[in-house]
Structure 1
Amino acid sequence: MRQCQLLRLSRSTYYYNKRPIDKYNLRLMNLLDEQYLETPFYGVRRFTHWLLREGHHVNHKRVRRLMLLMGFHAIYPKPRLSMGVKNHKKYPYLLSSLAITRPDQVWCADITYIRLQRGFVYLVAVMDWFSRYVLSWELSNSLEAQFCCAALNKAFRHGTPDIFNSDQGAQFTSSDFTKRLLSRSIKISMDGRGRVFDNIFIERLWRSLKHEDIYLKDYETVQDCCRGLSDYFLFYNR
């Protein structure tokens, strides 16, 4: 009790154990994941109507919560396309009209949702823009910035880019992530709001990965998924 007083936390908050995602919500998330690849322009309401047509009695509040959990948003130009962290510095998009002519000129990164039989994880990948080579990747059960930093550190084993491009998500705008780029004199580029094609190559990677591997193999555990992704990215790169 004294610890809660010092931390200014209610005891109910301190003892609360987060409940796991139930099986039905996982099923809905898997359905949203598959449909998102086919109709990435769907927002909360259109996904809600689609699920209703498929026989699932859900409302827009549940769909919005699941999409936020999965990191999904409708891909089309609109104001306030993605919500970052206000006190994180944002950088301009540097790739407009830039001719990409060689490896290590531009790297890019993105995060996607990966389904498992009994849960889900997040995958981040770092890709060379010119060659489409996947330089590194990491899995995580949360959207903390640390697994993105770990993927970046692994990518540096291959070299150093002139420019690093990402979206304005909190993981990529965090000081832990950007300081690793700035310490190597790498220019930071971030997708503009409402610019749906700024990071299109890695979005295409996610589509290939899910159709060619994730949906076919339906991994049961994180360990199985990790081994499968190692094989897939070796296949993809070569």
Structure 2
Amino acid sequence: MFTTLSGLSVVVTGASKGIGKGIARVFADAGAHVLITGRSAADLEAAVADIGGRTSHLPADVSSRADCDRVAATALERHGGIDVLCANAGVFPSARLEDIGADDLAAVMGTNLNGTVFSVQACLDALTASGRGRVVVTSSITGPFTGYPGWSHYAASKAAQLGFVRTASLELAPRGITVNAVLPGNIATEGIADLGPGYVEAMTASIPQGRLGSPADIGHAAAFFATLEAGFITGQTLVVDGGQVLPESTQALAAMAG
């Protein structure tokens, strides 16, 4: 059995919907005090009502260092500290390489990469004071392991997060803070549904387990990294994808049926 997460102070960015909301729900169900952030106050209010437990919200844009500082200050005010930061906020607009403009690239990197760095910087003192600080970054299999047309800027940002995780884990180890990443495959979220039934069907067919993941699957992985038992794990990545990155080709999947 793992030690309880009850009473911990947890910040989850980008948690009004999708994976972030799933992460927040797992921690809330475990009895943690959870502060969720996102850009839409209305979506955050709906998420808090749905998640329940000791969950509250604060509208914030992680691409703004000032907003990240405000999130950290709010968590300190409401919870008395910060034990776990789940740097989850991310965007994934689709654009072919030849069509990506400077503003498009800046927007993706601003949220996915800069937002991760800013969030950690803002929470750093509180995570240190915790004595058992945990940073869990939501990266992706897209970029570090796979590619998909239209997401070269997204893939670059997700691979960049892992470079940050490895070096930040070295710098923060003396502070007693671990830094790890969860790499989701295709997860059944509103964003995936927006890509259409054809995409969902094709992605499901590419996963050996024969299903998309759930936001809770990612939440449980994040919760593991937050446990005391995971305290000697840092700078690592955990792929949560139902085996999607394993087959050499579609022929390997077909051979499973034989």
Same-fold status (TM-score > 0.5): no
Instruction: Give me the TM-score of the superposition, normalised by structure 1.
Output: 0.30
TM-score relative to the length of structure 2: 0.28
Pick the structure with greater CA Rg: 1
Higher helix content, 1 or 2? 2
